[in-house]
Amino acid sequence: MGKVTGYYKEECARHGWQPEPHQIIYRANILIAETGEKAQRALAHYPRQPAFLLKDGVATALLELDQRNVAGEGRRPGNVNRVLPINFSGGPDEIVAQLKQARAEIGCGVVDLFFQTPGSEGPEELMEALELFGEKVLPHIHDI
């Protein structure tokens, strides 16, 4: 992602503007648990295939249509494996470190997180993840 935002900043500068961190949004998936070990166990339940299976020919054709210019490298598929990646995973300390690294490498000032709770059937696990993030992560990243 650092390469992508670097290209974005170069293009902005070429047009006389430089985005500030609060103008760079990184949308990502997060899996947070009480410990890194628990997060790794939860990842084992994360889907390894797309939610909606398509015949190979259809999937290939759609991926071909969804070619993008990624960091000035020309046309590339926008999606690699048809499954959304988990961008941040671990216990609170690991998540804090990962978010600080994202800020340093990407320059993002806003992170739009989609919380993952693989294998859960109700909202309880999601609420626990949100509370854990709010209590153990936010106090350590709000100044970055």
* Res 119: pLDDT: 79
CA separation for the pair 47, 50 (Å, rounded): 7
pTM (predicted TM-score): 0.77
Distance between CA 34 and CA 98 in Å, rounded? 15
Provide the pLDDT confidence category of residue 142 given band limits of 50, 70 and 90.
confident
Left if phi > 0, otherwise alpha if psi is -120 to 50, otherwise beta: which for 33?
A: beta
User: Cα separations (Å) of 6 from 2, 42, 91, 102, 106?
Assistant: 6, 33, 29, 13, 8
pLDDT digits (tens, 9 = 90+) for 30-60: 999 999 999 999 888 877 666 556 677 777 7
